[in-house]
Amino acid sequence: MLAGCMKNNESPVKYIALFIPWGISLLFTDSPLTSYFIAWLGSFYIFFMTYSGVLKPLPSDRRIAEQVMRPIFLIQIIFAGYMCCTSIFYLLDLYGYNNFHQEYSLLDMNQLKLTAQCQRYYCLAHASFMAGILTFMNYPIEQKVKVEGESIANLLFWSAILSFPLSIIFLKVPGLSQFSNQFSSLSFIACTIALAFAIPLKKIQNTIICCVLYGLNFYTALSSGFKEPIILSVLVLGIFLYPTYKKIVLVTFIPALVLLFLVLPTYASVFRQNAWTGGESSDAARSEAFDAVLNKENVADQTTWEFLVNRLSEIDMFTEYVQSTPDKVKFYGFDLVKQSFIVVVPRIFWPSKPSTEDLVMQRVYDAGVINPHSTVSAKPAYIVDAYLSGGALGIFICLFIYGAAVQLISQKAEQLFGGYTLGTALIFSGLFQIFWRGLSFEFILNNVVWSYITMLLIAKILRSKNILVPV
């Protein structure tokens, strides 16, 4: 485990500093609100410690704006930021706030204690995750291959063109649908990066085609009923355009992202209600969702607050698991890990393999989070599975492994594909998007294993075609 550190003659002992807020928060367990805020602010302390270079210098082989897709930047902001920093709205709701106005002062002290306890776990998880990343972060990556002949911009363009039909082909092949999801994500990243490269190069034909592909991906995101793909489609384009068009991106993309956060909860809620349960077509549901966003401001405000409290953060669900385990349901130990390895086996080789959804939902039912007869799917997040496996120790171990895996796979991608642009920005971000927001153990392991195999196969094909050649 210490090989990455020893290579740089560094000791991982200094990463103990990341756990200071968690340790202090434990001293104030008798004062839940104080403990909560120490743990919540602890994540901002961890952001500072990692981005200031106090514990380990930031990668210096590229400018910061040109390496944002590396794990220490984007994944930490999305994964850890979403996990650890969004619970503040839930806390305000506990204190009777609605749209930032306090409507009542009645407080459930038991729920406040559970909320503070879960926030301490979030702080521990953030520290462990970053300890895993920093321990194995080793830049610059020794380059063994390079792109031969055509430019990276052209290679990105053809990646965007080819990955989209491949995702459709795999969708039609029985037992290989998971590869369809991988190439669909790869297509989205490829067309976004290709568009960002084509615009400053003034390649009119490439720009038009990439715009069409980007539009198709955005249309698909609008028709999915989920908020994350829409936000990510705008975020990623802004990230890649920023180094060339800094002022334009700051003026347009940041307000656009804020606007999306305000209106998407209403849009998604109305769309799901009409398309998923109302039996309407996607076009009709989409039209009604837009109408709700534009013409029903009061409903939109309330839906947005409900999103901030119960959807942006998953702490409410986390408190239910903490309340039931280990008092009512024993810790699972290695059982969830064993189930994850079962899921990795393709169904084409094991037709009677248990349903992944059923395996995951069983612990949801056991914890009493939702009723078994309910049609709602409430799969636990990665940190919840880590807690269910072994409490605080389970969180420490599992999140350290998570951070280490993210960092090592990203570095392997850069080594296989000749650098950051193709390695981390395209392949890693395209195939391993599941790392951006950790899901249940079974979904994580299955996706990562087969995405890693896909990455190796793509690298081998590009080498065999002399697109990637030895340095």
* Dihedral (CA of 187, 189, 192, 193) sign: negative
Is the Cβ–Cβ distance between 396 and 405 less than 8 Å? no
Question: Measured between alpha carbons, how far is 416 from 456 in angstroms, rounded to an integer?
Answer: 8
Burial of residue 380, with CB atoms counted within 10 A of its CB: 0-12 exposed, 13-18 middle, 19 or more buried: buried
Where along the chain do its domains lie? 150-313
Q: Quote the CA–CA distance of 115 and 25 in Å, as a whole number.
A: 13
**Is the model's pTM score more than 0.85?**
yes
Q: 146: which strand partners?
A: 469
pLDDT of residue 4: 46
pLDDT at res. 376:
63
Main-chain dihedrals φ then ψ at residue 48, nearest 5 degrees: -65, -45
CA–CA distances in Å: residue 341 to residues 344, 354, 357: 5, 12, 14
Region of 339 on the Ramachandran plot (φ > 0 left; ψ -120 to 50 alpha; else beta) = alpha
Which structure tokens are listed for 93? 């709701």
147 φ/ψ angles, rounded to the nearest 5 degrees: -80, 130
Q: Tens digit of pLDDT per residue, the chain (471 long)?
A: 444 444 554 667 899 999 999 999 999 999 999 999 999 999 999 999 999 999 999 999 999 888 999 999 999 999 999 899 999 999 999 999 888 888 887 789 999 999 999 999 999 999 999 999 999 999 999 888 888 756 788 888 888 888 878 888 877 776 666 777 788 888 888 888 888 888 888 878 888 988 888 888 788 777 777 777 778 778 888 888 888 888 898 899 888 888 887 777 778 777 877 776 666 777 787 787 777 777 755 555 566 788 788 877 889 999 999 999 999 999 999 999 999 999 888 877 787 888 888 888 889 898 888 877 666 667 899 999 999 999 999 999 999 999 999 999 999 999 999 899 999 999 999 899 899 888 899 999 999 999 999 999 999 999 998 888 888
330 three-class SS: coil
Question: Do residues 127 and 19 touch, judged by C-beta distance below 8 A?
Answer: yes
pLDDT of residue 79: 92
206 in Cβ contact with 153 (< 8 Å): yes
Please, are residues 304 and 266 in contact by the beta-carbon 8 Å criterion?
yes
Closest listed residue to residue 429, CA positions, set 218, 221, 191, 189: 189
Q: What is the pLDDT of residues 230-251, one digit of tens each?
A: 787 788 888 888 888 888 988 9
Q: Note the pLDDT of residue 50.
A: 95
Alpha-carbon distance of 388 to 382, in angstroms, equals 10
Dist CA 74 CA 308 (whole Å): 21
What angle (nearest 5°) sits at the alpha carbon of residue 274, between those of residues 268 and 279?
Answer: 140
Q: Compute CA distances 442 → 246, 344, 345, 386, 448, whole Å.
A: 40, 8, 11, 12, 10
